[in-house]
Amino acid sequence: MSDSPVVQKALDVNILMENLNDIARFTIEKNEYLEGNKLSEEELEVTHGIILKALQDLIVMRRSAEKEFRSEVRDSFNRILDEISKEAGHG
């Protein structure tokens, strides 16, 4: 039995949100390694928060763009169906 699209989307979002902390931590560790500069606990907290916020903002922007795209596709399909209906003499 497969999950519904709504359940699957919720699971995907949860997985993504859980991974944001890991992505932020990895980004900081990579930067520390490449720069050879270890951040203090306070700097780690601030940097982690900034990166986490940036990642969350990207997700929000992506969701908004996806929603707009779905709306455009729906509108396009509706226009096509209206044209077909008119050509068939139903509209």
- Average of per-residue pLDDT values in the chain: 87
Which helix (H) or strand (E) segment is 5 a member of? helix 5-35
Per-domain residue ranges of the chain: 5-87
CB count within 10 Å of CB 44 equals 15
pLDDT tens digits along 52-81: 899 889 888 988 999 999 999 999 999 999
Going by C-alpha positions, the residue among 34, 25, 29 that lies closest to residue 52 is 25
pLDDT at 5: 79
CB count within 10 Å of CB 52 equals 16
Report whether 31 contacts 62 (CB < 8 A): no
User: Mean pLDDT throughout 80-89?
Assistant: 91
Note the pTM of the prediction, 2 decimals.
0.60
